[in-house]
Amino acid sequence: MADEKRRRPRTCIGCLSESPKKTLIRIVRSPDGIVTIDRTGKKPGRGAYLCLDMECIEKARKKNSLARALRCTVDNSIYDELIAIVEGEQGR
Ligand SMILES: [Zn+2]
């Protein structure tokens, strides 16, 4: 466990709640500054969490929460990718 994980609870940056009932997905900025969606939750780097929920993703997109949480610019395609994941989960 990284130190950061112990210090910070896994709070969704969209709805700002810990949402134990919803699945949280981790977005990580790697040490070389690449932002990716971390479905394993094990990639190194600064992480942020979002509910696997369309509303939370759109909220985060509007407020640019991901960029603020990760302290770097986040490409819009990351949000599109998250939405595609949510749609994939719902489509089962
Ligand atoms: Zn949320």
Q: What is the CATH number of the domain that holds 67?
A: 3.30.1230.10
User: What integer pLDDT is reported at residue 90 of this predicted model?
Assistant: 72
Res. 11: pLDDT tops 70? yes
Distance CA 47, CA 25 (A): 10
| Residue-averaged pLDDT of the chain | 88
Ligand 1 center–CA 33 separation, angstroms:
24
Give the structural domain span for 29: 3-90
DSSP string, 10-32: --BTTT-S--TTSPEEEEEE-TT
Strand order in the sheet with 35-38: 35-38, 24-29, 46-51
User: What integer pLDDT is reported at residue 10 of this predicted model?
Assistant: 85
Q: What is the pLDDT of residues 17-60, one digit of tens each?
A: 886 666 899 999 999 999 999 998 899 999 999 999 999 999 99
Ligand 1 center–CA 65 separation, angstroms:
12
Ligand 1 center–CA 52 separation, angstroms:
7
State the average pLDDT over residues 6-16. Answer: 79
Cα dihedral 56, 13, 18, 23 sign: positive
Ligand 1 center–CA 11 separation, angstroms:
8
Could you give the number of structural domains in the chain? 1
Res. 13: pLDDT tops 80? yes
Report how far apart the first and last C-alpha atoms of the chain are (Å, whole number). Answer: 32
* Residue 83 burial (10 A CB sphere; 0-12, 13-18, 19+): middle
Ligand 1 center–CA 3 separation, angstroms:
23
Ligand 1 center–CA 59 separation, angstroms:
9
User: What integer pLDDT is reported at residue 8 of this predicted model?
Assistant: 55
